[in-house]
Structure 1
């Protein structure tokens, strides 16, 4: 479910802003490291869960306003180069502040241990992550479908010029969407922190999987991100259990098969 949360933010940013944000994985990594720092300072995982994503959202606002906004509408090559440069910058900052050692984050004591369901023991924290993923999915649907802001976001994603002519502040909408995507990346980082060791390569590993999910599900599709993350998760579990040597290859095979059958992804639409 953490992969769905990350991929949904990446897909939302592309769907509205039409920019491939390679630095999305860096925001995920920052969320994980902020979770470590806040837990270390305040001794509370819940504090980190609330405030680390907000810090990532604030960083997202700065990135969008001063770095990403000038490349809107420019060839995708420049967008990729810019966001790749942000990856290098964030990696150096993480190395400067936290070093290169592997770090770990402990979940709240309430979420430790396992609970029995139908005679099967399930880790409490894993169940919590699943519930959070479902909640985030419904939150995104509600915000985009049932709120005034969501209508403005959908209008801006459909036609920027027409939306501007209707009085919608499109640059502000873009900033809001990018910040929300950064918040989702940071939230994914916090939720993933107790499940894995924190390391400098965390951003690259994450963005690769997130891009595979988005491509499988369809660029800009939130339901596609959910289905893609579910398929990739099941495939990774199968590969780890039976073919551990070829685990990484399975996700690329799945992506290739989907693109052969559906070039725009399972739920994607042709982009003009």
Structure 2
């Protein structure tokens, strides 16, 4: 434990700014993945254990697109679209057949998808660690705020993820499609009786969820290693977010992602060997005090 260093950081404005910037960036990237996971569960009732693989594929699609175009914007778009289309294919041909099935059946099918995508990555890109590196167009001096250092690329990542989060919130809360999705999550039979194609709604929701995971993978590719199996760790953290935030709650996922982002950022100073444990302790406390999660509905 390095609690003395943590106390010094919390009382130092420069350290507080630096670690808060890192925590916000980590939290918002995690939110993109977790929001897709909780959206899929909330509407489809599917515990998508393969969700981390779409994060991984988004990173690889971005890496491939950047190698051809050297444009980070194109790379991010390729990661989003590629992961969404891949998710749509798996949803239509495999996952749509296990909606409403036992969780064990869902786990087996999703695990099969994980193995398929991991082996496909090894065949196409190899098993070695790869890295995109920060694009030259985004290599700028960091922002200095109250003595704290905020890397330019971190600021860009936070801005992009914040925009995506705002678009998602607006789309789910203010548009006709969002109202249909919310209705389908509560009473799909009634939605179908009104003449709405629920199959198309389900496919669209899954594609959006996979695209959000792909966006996180593409955005994190310049600062994280890209390797087969990279989706496992992010999947575990996404499930922690989903449990803390509440299954199916986008707002809860945002709050939980930021909590874990700050836990990882400041925990790397105060308890670097116990960061993962701290995250699970937070999850356990939420399960004890509020089993439905921060944004979940309490059962009757």
Smaller-chain TM-score bracket: over 0.9
1:204 counterpart (218, 229, 232): 232
CA deviation after TM superposition for structure 1 residue 271, in Å: 6.9
Separation in structure 2 between the aligned mates of residue 232 and residue 220 of structure 1, nearest angstrom: 18
1:12 counterpart (28, 35, 39): 39
The correspondence of residues 116-135 of structure 1 with structure 2, limited to 5 A, is 116-135=144-163
CA deviation after TM superposition for structure 1 residue 117, in Å: 3.4
Aligned residues: 272
Structure 1's unaligned 5+ residue stretches are: none
Note the alpha carbon deviations across 1:121-175, whole angstroms, 9 max, x for none.
3111111111122112211111112211111111111101111111111111000
Note the alpha carbon deviations across 1:169-198, whole angstroms, 9 max, x for none.
111100000000111011000011111111
Does residue 170 of structure 1 match 2:203?
no
Partner of 2:289: 261
Note the alpha carbon deviations across 1:43-62, whole angstroms, 9 max, x for none.
22221111221011111110
Is this contact kept in 1: 2:53–2:229, CA < 8 A? no
CA deviation after TM superposition for structure 1 residue 107, in Å: 3.0
Is this contact kept in 2: 1:112–1:123, CA < 8 A? no
Separation in structure 1 between the aligned mates of residue 246 and residue 137 of structure 2, nearest angstrom: 37
CA deviation after TM superposition for structure 1 residue 270, in Å: 4.9
Aligned to 2:286, what secondary structure does the other structure show? Answer: helix
Note the alpha carbon deviations across 1:246-268, whole angstroms, 9 max, x for none.
12111111100110001111111
Partner of 2:127: 100
Return the TM-score normalized by structure 2: 0.87
1:89 counterpart (77, 92, 116): 116
Is this contact kept in 1: 2:135–2:222, CA < 8 A? no
| Cα-Cα RMSD | 1.4
Aligned to 2:94, what secondary structure does the other structure show? Answer: helix
Going from structure 1 to structure 2, the CA distance change for 1:140 and 1:271 (only over 3 Å counts) comes to: farther
Going from structure 1 to structure 2, the CA distance change for 1:269 and 1:7 (only over 3 Å counts) comes to: same
Partner of 1:142: 170
1:184 counterpart (204, 212, 225): 212
Is this contact kept in 1: 2:65–2:74, CA < 8 A? yes
Aligned to 2:33, what secondary structure does the other structure show? Answer: helix
CA deviation after TM superposition for structure 1 residue 110, in Å: 3.0
Separation in structure 2 between the aligned mates of residue 199 and residue 247 of structure 1, nearest angstrom: 23
Partner of 2:105: 78
Separation in structure 2 between the aligned mates of residue 189 and residue 205 of structure 1, nearest angstrom: 12
Is this contact kept in 2: 1:46–1:108, CA < 8 A? no
CA deviation after TM superposition for structure 1 residue 106, in Å: 2.3
Aligned to 1:245, what secondary structure does the other structure show? Answer: coil
Separation in structure 1 between the aligned mates of residue 243 and residue 212 of structure 2, nearest angstrom: 18
Partner of 1:25: 52
Separation in structure 2 between the aligned mates of residue 250 and residue 67 of structure 1, nearest angstrom: 36
CA deviation after TM superposition for structure 1 residue 217, in Å: 0.4
